[in-house]
Structures are given as C-alpha cells and as structure tokens.
Structure 1
Amino acid sequence: MTKVSVIIPNYNHARFLEKRIHTVLQQTYQDFEVICLDDASTDASNYMISKFSNNQRFQTIYNNINSGSPFKQWEKGLQIAKGEYIWIAESDDYADLRFLEKLVPLLDQNPNIGLVYSQSLGVDENDHVMRNWKTWTDDLDSDRWSNDFINNGSDECQKYLIFKNTIPNASAVLMRRSVLEKTGKIDTQMRLAGDWLLWAKMLTISDIAFVAEPLNNFRTHTNVVRNTSKPYLELEERLQVVRYISQQIDIPHNFWEIVFNPSIGWWIRMIFRGEIPLSRSHKIYQLLKNIDPNINYRLFTIFFKTLKSKLSL
C-alpha cells in the first residue's frame, strides 16, 4: 500500500501550481502518490498540470463544471486515494521538502494520533514571508505553540479548538485515513469552515500532534475561496462547528465570554445593518439555541446592557 496520498485540489492557481507540485514531488520522503484535481479552471492550470503527466505517481482528474466548493474536491480526492495517510496540499501553498519526513514518523509511532500538523509561515503572492502563524494562536496561549506536542483530542477541542480554528491551513496537516473514514464524509456544503469541522470530528475520536518547525507555506492572495461577499456565512459556519464540539465535550467556563456572547453581538449588528437575509438570521438563531437553550434570556440581558450603556452616554 502507498503510504501517503497527496491530494492537490486546484482552481485557477496556474501561477502557483508548478512550485506546489515540485515541492511535493521533491519531498525527501518518497512513498506517496499524487492526485491533482482541477475544478474547471479558466486560466493556464491545465497547461501547468500537463507538465507532470509523465510522472507515474501523478494522476489528474478534471471537472467539466466547477463544483463550487473546495471541500467537494477534497471528498472526491479521498474516494480515489489509496494511501494510509492523507495530505491535502492546497494548490496555492507550498511545502518544505522535509514536510513528510518530519510528520510521517509521528503517525507511524503513535497509532492513537489521527492528525499531525506543522507550524506555517504566511507568504504573499511573490513568496515573501509576512508572518509566522504562531501569532494566530498567541491569544490562546503564547507559549504552547513554541514547542512540539502531542495531546488528547478531546482536551484539544475543549481548551483550544472550540475557541477558533487553531489549524488554519489544511496544507500543514497529515491525516490518518482510518480515522478520517470514521468521521463520515466531509461536509461539502460548507465554504469556509469545512476544515475546522473536520479537525473537530477527528479529534473527538483520536489524538493530535504538532511540529513547531514551520514546514508549510500558507499563501495569502486576492484569488482565495475564503473571500466572500456574505458576511453572515462566516458566523453561520463558525456556529455549526462550535455546536458540534459543544455536543461532544463539556463547554469550558470562559467559552461564553470569549466566543458565544461576541457571536450574538456579531449577529445582532448584521441584522441592524441589513447584512443578513431573514432565513439565514433564523438559522443562526437556531444554531445559537442549540448551543444554549437559554438564548432568549441571554439576548434580553445583552440588549438591556447595550441599552443601558447608550442611555448613560
């Protein structure tokens, strides 16, 4: 059996594809297959992909119609993959050539670990390093992500993952296929938080490992899926993830102050600004209610405090 299946989902990333594919094929650890999925790109992606068509470990699947979701491409790749481990190598990112060499042994030596990920560097369109993504988690714990660690999955969810997506880039993650399959299919209806929900599902049934060395380069540019004209979508999907985690573990005491109440405030502001359709507003209300059955009392309290602060001005 092939050890690692590398899935490269692509849509209009011709500019970055060659570097992405080279940093996969030139890995110092070589037991892998590559599955490149092009989602009906309209740029020169097909030409860039064709340069690697003679590589025996490289296969390409082309969509005639764009799927509309990166997570549909993930699921499609998983149905084809044969490897014991899965690496979703996003087409606009690129890796240190030692990425697999460093991460594979952690899964080999620790059968309870469902996923391992490395720290990432943030880069721009021209490969200039802009940040170390450790800053993303510093508000949760400024020291924890400075060192390698292994942790119980449920503990990871309760202390960290329920507050934010502490694994912000799939390209940094190596997953155990057997654990991934136990979670069921990826939620392909999501556009923004499908990865966060997947990590949560995996970590309720397995453990996690982290490598502090930045072995992944997470690219920021204008043509990214996470750019959306629907501001309510981020809140809606965020609450879906939080609801799932809250159903699996005991909610930490500071969750309400850090996550829940600010989410309510965010929702209310969108309503007053006319940024959210009535049907989506109702969906968000139901998500909030599923997390906290006393949502009506909480809404009243927040409204009263807001009104009182305004009257005192």
Structure 2
Amino acid sequence: MSKFSVLIANYNNGHFFEECFQSLVAQTETDWETIILDDGSTDHSLEIIKNIIGDDPRFRIYQNEENKGIGYTKKRLISLAGSPICGFLDPDDALVPYALEIVLKTHAEHPEAGLVYSNLVFCDEHLQPKSVHKAKQITELDQSYYNFRGEISSFATLKKNVYEKTSGIDPFLKIAEDKDWYMKMCETAPVKYIDEDLYLYRIHKNGISTTTNEDKAVFWHWVAMIKMAERRNINIEDLFLERYVSKGKYEKVLHKLDQVKKSRWAKLGDQLGLFKIFKYL
C-alpha cells in the first residue's frame, strides 16, 4: 500500500497533462500512487495521458461509462484510492516538488486532523506563477468555515478513514464539490492549515476562473452551503442576502447609468472637461 493517493478527475484536459505528470514524478516523496478517472472525455485526452504515462506502474487509469460530472467522479476516485491519505490534483494543474513530503509529514504530526491543506499559486495558461492565494486556519465552524473566500484551498488532502465518517462528496454537485467535502470534513474532525505554496493552479479560458464558469461556481457554492445549513440545522438566509443582488435591481442601476450617460448636461460637462470619468460610462 502506498502512503498517498493522488486523485485526478479528467475531462478534456489531456493536452495539459504533461506538466501535471512531470510534477508528480519529480516529487521528493516517492511512495505514492496516482489514480486517473476520465469522465467521458470527448477529445483525445485518454490517448494523450496514456502516452505520457507509458509503463509507469504508479499510475492507474479508469473511465466512467458516460459523463457523470465532477461530484460523482471525485466520489468514485476516493473509493478507488488504496492509500490512507488522498488528495485531488486537476490534470491542468501541478504540485511543487516537495508537496507530498510536506503533506505526509503534517498528517503524521497531526493525527487528529482529518484534512490538511495549503496555499495555492495562481498561474497563467503556461503555468507561470502570478500570485499566491493564502488559505486560513479554520478553528471554529464560523463564517470562515463557510469558505466564502477560499479559507480552505488546494492542496487539500484527507485521511480516508475520517472522510468515510461523513456522507462523502455529493454526486449531485456539478461545481463546488470541494466546498461540500471541505465543510463535511470540518464538521467531523479538526483541520490543519500549512502555510506553504504547494499547488500550482492554471488559469485558462476553459477553466473554472473564466467569467461564465465563475458565475456557475457561485451558484453551486450556494447549493453546497444550503446543504450544509440543512445538516447543521442553521439559517444562512441573512448571509445569502448580504451577497445577493437580484437581476431586477442590477438592471435598474444599469438603466439609471444609461440615462445619466445620455443626459445633455453630462455630455456638456464632458465637453467642458468637467467629467473625466464620462468616457468610461
């Protein structure tokens, strides 16, 4: 049995996998396995990934019979893991060389912790670092635990025996499945934050950080939040209202702004150089 299972859910990201693969084979900790589960890719991802892996016995590849979504796929990945400690790595991302070594050391030093997590590094499409997102130590099930600003982030790793005490990842979730299991792990055992930059997160046009997908992520985040509130029998209505702007209110603001822009007084003021911001309206 390996010490650590790296879990990779792939859907049409095989063209990014080379750097992901190289980051794994470069790990200073060598006692690991990697399990890849393809979720019905419609491109040549599987062929690309298999060619990159070659005959390396540390990698195992599985396929869903059809596209099932990220929640189902990650839940199945954990069931396939043979190691006592697991962590998710997306095929378009990468780990720094000492990531597994530090994570395993932290799990050993904190046997009570069900979840160990680190900072992540935002990178461009070529995986060149741009900025660091600092996570935060969660000690109470308060607003930080709700994970509004990524207080828990990758590289997030779990003890499988603690995870199995929860209901597991919700296969219904299409995005934000990580928020769901982070919260469940917080409810089950202490969690430990490592102030290390271990995970390289690639931002590209088809990733979760694009505008369209980011809006979807907000929706699914609240689905996970509502499920959490139901589990804990708490009311998060006020928290939702603090962050929610109805489409009607938003359109009213845009309409008023448009009226200001079309105003002859605004145009005159712009001509006189009084409204420098006018051109941006």
Q: Same fold (TM over 0.5)?
A: yes
- Looking at structure 1, the residues matched to 129 and 151 of structure 2 have their Cα atoms a distance apart, in angstroms, of 19
Change (3 A) 1:109 1:12: same
Residue among 173, 197, 205 paired with 2:180: 197
Partner of 1:89: 89
* Structure showing greater Rg: 2
- Looking at structure 2, the residues matched to 233 and 15 of structure 1 have their Cα atoms a distance apart, in angstroms, of 23
- Looking at structure 1, the residues matched to 17 and 38 of structure 2 have their Cα atoms a distance apart, in angstroms, of 11
- Looking at structure 2, the residues matched to 250 and 88 of structure 1 have their Cα atoms a distance apart, in angstroms, of 29
State yes or no: 1:178 paired with 2:179: no
Encode CA deviations 1:49-69: one digit per residue, 9 max, x unaligned: 1121411121111234222x1
- Looking at structure 2, the residues matched to 243 and 98 of structure 1 have their Cα atoms a distance apart, in angstroms, of 35
- Looking at structure 2, the residues matched to 249 and 104 of structure 1 have their Cα atoms a distance apart, in angstroms, of 35
Shift of 1:247: 5.2
Shift of 1:233: 7.0
State yes or no: 1:103 paired with 2:97: no
Going by fraction, where is helix more abundant, 1 or 2? 1
Change (3 A) 1:158 1:36: same
State yes or no: 1:223 paired with 2:223: no
Change (3 A) 1:231 1:186: same
Alignment of 1:127-138 (within 5 A): 127-134=127-134
TM-score by length of 1: 0.70
State yes or no: 1:60 paired with 2:61: yes
- Looking at structure 1, the residues matched to 86 and 174 of structure 2 have their Cα atoms a distance apart, in angstroms, of 21
Partner of 1:117: 117
- Looking at structure 2, the residues matched to 174 and 163 of structure 1 have their Cα atoms a distance apart, in angstroms, of 16
Residue type at the aligned position of 1:45 = S
Change (3 A) 1:219 1:167: farther
Residue among 208, 219, 236 paired with 1:235: 219
Change (3 A) 1:165 1:49: same
Partner of 1:300: none
Shift of 1:196: 0.5
Change (3 A) 1:123 1:205: same
Total equivalences in the alignment: 249
TM-score by length of 2: 0.78
Change (3 A) 1:40 1:164: same
Q: Contact between 1:190 and 1:237, CA under 8 Å: does it hold in 2?
A: no
Alignment of 1:130-149 (within 5 A): 130-134=130-134, 145=136
SS in 1 for 2:83: coil
- Looking at structure 1, the residues matched to 187 and 131 of structure 2 have their Cα atoms a distance apart, in angstroms, of 30
Range 94-103 or range 70-79, more displaced: 70-79
Change (3 A) 1:250 1:272: closer
Shift of 1:273: 7.3
Range 88-97 or range 122-131, more displaced: 122-131
Partner of 1:248: 232
Gaps spanning 5+ residues in structure 2: where?
252-281
Encode CA deviations 1:184-204: one digit per residue, 9 max, x unaligned: 231111122211111111011
Partner of 1:161: 145
Partner of 1:208: 191
- Looking at structure 2, the residues matched to 97 and 229 of structure 1 have their Cα atoms a distance apart, in angstroms, of 30
Q: Contact between 1:191 and 1:226, CA under 8 Å: does it hold in 2?
A: no
Q: Contact between 2:120 and 2:197, CA under 8 Å: does it hold in 1?
A: yes
Shift of 1:48: 2.4
Residue type at the aligned position of 1:199 = Y
Q: Contact between 1:13 and 1:91, CA under 8 Å: does it hold in 2?
A: yes
Q: Contact between 2:95 and 2:198, CA under 8 Å: does it hold in 1?
A: yes
